[in-house]
A = this chain, B = another copy of it.
Amino acid sequence: MIRVQREDFDVGAELDRLAAGNHRVGGIASFVGLVRDLGGGERVAALTLEHYPGMTEKKLAEIELEAHRRWPLDASLIIHRYGRLEPGDRIVLVATASPHREAALAACHFLIDWLKTDAPFWKSEETPEGERWVSARSEDDKAKRRWTGGEQ
């Protein structure tokens, strides 16, 4: 399931719902992304997440479908927030439920790696020097390439 929303989410409730009543599920893997404040010269008071409505949902649905194609998942969930967020706030939740631990863990890792490079979101930070658009990290492209080689 895909959700793109301004509101916060309740991680425990979302994870409970993912496997509710399905006793085939042996493991639930999840990743929660939070707004960081590295302090010092990099001090970030808040950030604003902009996205491309329509394409965001389309890309997230494609990423989720690809995960289900690669691993035996009973359920999955991607929630991504937009709007203004402060340090410590939740940005994203990715969760996967599978009969098999390895499938849940690998699919969760895959989903967050792909989401980072494919979902059309952009972060701008509020710093003492004004608004600053966050640059893409080459590490993210590298992390995604791990899943596009011959490994799966």
A residues contacting B by CB (< 8 A) are 10-13, 15-16, 19, 21-39, 87-88, 99, 101-102, 104-105, 108-109, 112, 116, 139, 143
- Residues from chain B with a CB closer than 8 A to the CB of A32 are 15, 27-28, 30
Known A-B contacts A28-B31, A33-B27, A34-B27; the reply to A109 vs B105 at CB < 8 A is yes
A77 to nearest B CB, angstroms? 13
* Majority DSSP secondary structure for residues of A touching B: mixed
Selected contact of A88 from candidates B19, B29, B99, CB within 8 Å: B19
Known A-B contacts A12-B11, A12-B12, A101-B112; the reply to A26 vs B31 at CB < 8 A is no
Beyond known contacts A11-B16, A24-B36, A26-B33: 7 more, CB 8 A cutoff: A23-B36, A23-B39, A23-B87, A24-B38, A25-B36, A29-B29, A36-B99
**Within the assembled complex, what's the spacing in Å between the Cα atoms of A48 and B22?**
20
- Residues from chain B with a CB closer than 8 A to the CB of A99 are 36, 38
